[in-house]
Amino acid sequence: MSVVAVDIPENTSIEGLIKAQAYGLGFDLVGITRLGPAETAPMFEDWVSRGYAGEMTYLPRWTDKRRDTRLPFPGASCAIVVGLNYGGTAPTGPIARYARGDDYHDVMWRKLDSLHDWIGASTGMPVSGKSYVDTGPILERDLARCAGLGWFGKNTNLINPSIGSFFFIGALLVDLDLEPDAPFEAERCGTCTRCLDACPTDAFVSDHVLDATKCISYLTIEARGAIPEDLREKLGTLIYGCDICQDVCPWNQRFASDAQLAEFSPRPVLASNDSRTIALEILRMEQAEFTEAFKRSPMKRAKLSGLKRNSAVALGNGGWSDHIPDVEDPNVINASYHRR
């Protein structure tokens, strides 16, 4: 993508222009914060030490870099933090809304890299920086709150008072000295506990504390092997991820909006939004079919074996066990579903 240099008018701040460009690229939220010690690092380390991360063994790595956001990209002094709506108004279904289209990492990276290029062209000098989208040793929620994008809901999601919580977070770390925005100080959940009460697996230890090993998103995406028997029935007919704690949030019920990007539209294999149909399609898939059907999809993270396991559980919970076809891995799949 070619970038045209832009003259900055007098009395116009670079911060204002950066935000305008970010919005022009399609981001729904943008804020700026200075880098430094991460406020939530001690809580994160305590959370990991309690075993709530489960099999996500990558989370304890790079502890020093998570503690100080200046360390992941040496020389950077500020972060431009963005939010991108992925659509909270689409009907609920067996696949979490965020995963129905293309991989959000790729979509966000392209936009953040374009913003990075634009900043360099606009300032007329090389600007060192790097884009991060849920893959580096950075506590992005911490940066987003510090940049004024929202507060931590009781379900641990970042909530913005204008668009709710159905959005991705990304950050562009740069070596520019930018004027930061005020952090979001208010906590606007009040006495509401709808998200905690609605969780089918009782995954919330307390307000703002999630035991990932009981979370349906973790069980259907990150966990390997068979799903624990005492949790199988509680998964219902969900196949990949879970939106329940977001669906019941009053802020989403009032302010969630449609996704604006075509990249987040459901791919053909998921178009029915019907658990039985999708589960049977997945269980019949060979690896080559899976690779083609889920090209550029975040659902590849669970691998075909994981999605077949989840599909068998969903069919069993839905009362459709008789429709489960023969499979090649009885230890992971046939032993993993709940028969009604």
- The HSE-up count of residue 335 (CA atoms within 13 Å, CB side) is 8
Amino acid at the residue 173: L
152 neighbors 187 (Cβ within 8 angstroms): yes
Task: Tell me how crowded residue 11 is: count the other CB atoms within 10 A of its CB.
Answer: 5
Tokens of 248: 């019941």
Taking CA atoms, 93 is separated from 65, 97, 163, 177, 287, in Å, by 37, 8, 21, 44, 24
Q: Distance between CA 323 and CA 316 in Å, rounded?
A: 9
How many angstroms separate the CA atoms of 64 and 52, rounded? 20
Q: What are phi and psi of 2, to 5 degrees?
A: -80, 145
Closest residue by Cα to residue 112 from 176, 25, 33: 25
Contact 72, 137 (CB under 8 A): yes
Annotated active-site residue in 106, 134, 202, 258 = 134
The question of whether 134 is a catalytic residue gets the answer yes
At 2 the three-state DSSP class reads coil
Report how far residue 306's alpha carbon sits from residue 220's, in angstroms, rounded to the nearest whole number. Answer: 7
Helical spans, DSSP H, in 25-102: 41-49, 63-67
Q: Which residues are catalytic?
A: 134
